[in-house]
Chain A
Amino acid sequence: MTGTADPGPGRPVPAGTSPLHPFLTAAGPAGPVPGDMAAAGPTSADAEPASAPPTDARPAGPTPTDARPAGPTPTDAGPVNPVLAVAGLDVDFGSRRRRRRALRGVSLSVAPGETVGLIGETGSGKSTLARAVLGLVRPAGGSIAVAGEDVTGYGRRQWRELRRRGVVQYVFQDPLRSLDPDLTVADSLTEPLLIRGVPRQEAVDRVRALLDRVRLAAELLDRLPGELSGGQRQRVAVARALITEPRLVILDEPVSALDSANRVQVLEILKELRDTGVAQIFISHDLGSVAGVADRIAVLYRGELVETGTARDVIARPRHPYTRLLVGSAPTLRGAATVGRAEREALRALLPA
């Protein structure tokens, strides 16, 4: 992929000016255009929690211009200059007496170019976490920083502005929900660029340049979503998410509804995407589908992050009983379960009813 990571609204940057690989170096990416941050900066400083949790990898107190320092940020554990830094996040649902905590003290950082698999069962809070990162639910506690910008206290307008910049993009399980049924593929893909003030011809060129990467034939450009197969549709949805050259793409069960051949194709695309420096959060209930693409796996259970580690460690040496049960329940081609029936029963007994 070419172009900068954060083209500001109305400030398209011609393709090929900023290779993405420097993201992976300690120097970090070029900062967002300062002008974009002017409106957001002060408010985000107001919303800064009194004491940032230690896992928060951001330097304390964003400056209004928030131009990234060139050097590495000296912090503890978390990745340097994370694209996403969630710290001690609490989210509640319902009100007053019926209040229920959907997320409890969740901390998760995603480095540039990193793919994090977010695993959990129905109701574990994985989609809630995604919604919080997109500003669709308001946290009850903790902080969220997107590309170094503290967005925790953002209001509706600030979130809209942030989403419009396309720094974080989202892909649904059902591509029909990400695509307007009345827009052709070409219109669906150019629209996000036109909104950002990219001239039409350039938008069209960028769409054409993207098609190869998502394995879409140019003749599909004139079709409507309803005229595409499920696999093609999901690839269009991925393309639409990528067209704004986001720093982070959140994919919610992107392959769950696809058949084998299409699943492999989408997984291949995601794997290549990782190599271009785009960070990804791959949400799934199925450990098997993220195992091959994720650098790290984070396991959510009942609103808490119970285990985070490299894909290899989480799968080969799970520590938390739920993760052990999850790995032990996933069917594998080895013919027998990795964890026997009796042991699964024992693990179930360890988990709260």
Chain B
Amino acid sequence: MTTLSDDLVPAATLTAAPPAAAVLSLRGVRITDHAGGREIVHGVSFDLAPGRTVGIVGESGSGKTLTCRAALGILPPHFEVTEGTVEIAGTDIAALTARRWTELRGATVSAVFQDPASYLNPSIRVGAQIAEVVRVKLGLKRREARRRALELLRAVRLRDPELVYDQYTHELSGGMLQRVLIATAVAADPLVLIADEATTALDVTVQAEILDLLADLRERTGLALVLVSHDLALVAQWCDEVLVMRQGEVVEQGPTHTVLHRPRHEYTRLLIAEHEQYGLEKFLAAEEET
């Protein structure tokens, strides 16, 4: 088992894994809202190999979050995958029992979302919450679980793990909470981590730190990432493959470089134009030419 405590092991011991069997595969996934009697997501397909990152870009209502939730088996009530398949590490999730799902979540596929505070209990010290995950998922004894939780807090580069272990959520900043959540999410060494707008609420410098951290985990442990964001630039910077979603439709999909330099859909072009007209790009490009 790969552990995060390889923190001190030189990164060369575990380089980015070569293309291997996909750990997450979506094939023509369609999601229907039975309450509204409408299909919301109209077919999403991608393969995610260990150590690779797939990015999904889209605005609220584009279906990106529903797609993630389908992959995690946590679709809201009335929503259902009505066509297509989701495979996690070769297992079709349609056949999974609730018990198998519980085993799979955290240990094989895990997730972090936008608002870290709402996924942690405000009245329990954060260290104890990570330790609980470790005890349940890895079957460690209390003392061992505490040691492991501290290791995890160190692995997500919290400056003072011992102090943070004994703190409550209200004592931590948004960036620190998101680290705690990532520590919890990777506590059981999942193969896939889905980060759905996980850095949206954070300051840009903190966002980069969190993404650096995820890239670090990806390189050291071969973690496969699904990065979901409304920001094409963010996804472009960290992903091998990009899906652009709009109103439940994948309007563009391909290797990041191709999507950025040869966008075919007008919506992708709009996202790119926004950056070119209003983003940093024009100043940086001009600077390079001089």
Contact = CB atoms under 8 A, between A and B. Distances in A.
A and B co-occur in one complex: yes
Nearest to A353: B159
B280 A329 contact: no
A337 interface: yes
A45 interface: no
Interface in B245-290: 256-257, 260, 270-284, 286-287
A335 B280 contact: no
Interface string A305-326: 0000001100111000010011
B215 interface: yes
Nearest to B234: A331
Interface stretch (B63-71, B84-92, B139-147, B225-233): B225-233
A316 B205 contact: no
B249 to A, nearest CB: 16
Please tell me the size bucket of the interface on A: 35 or more
A345 B215 CA distance: 14
A344 B279 contact: no
Nearest to A264: B274
Contacts, number: 111
Given A260-B274, A293-B278, A329 B236 contact: no
Nearest to B201: A122
Given A260-B59, A312-B283, A337-B237, A288 B275 contact: yes
Chain B at the A interface: mostly helix, strand, loop or mixed? helix
Interface string B120-145: 00000000000000000000000000
A331 B233 contact: yes
A338 interface: yes
Interface stretch (B39-47, B104-112, B177-185, B206-214): B206-214
Nearest to A271: B278
A220 interface: no
A330 interface: yes
A259 interface: yes
B237 A336 contact: yes
Contact of A291 (B209, B233, B283): B283
Interface of B: 59-60, 159, 174, 203-209, 212, 215, 230-234, 236-237, 256-257, 260, 270-284, 286-287
Interface of A: 121-122, 259-261, 263-264, 267, 285-289, 291-293, 311-312, 315-317, 322, 325-338, 341, 344-345, 348, 353
14 contacts: A121-B204, A121-B206, A260-B59, A260-B230, A260-B271, A267-B278, A288-B278, A312-B283, A316-B284, A329-B205, A330-B233, A332-B279, A332-B280, A333-B260
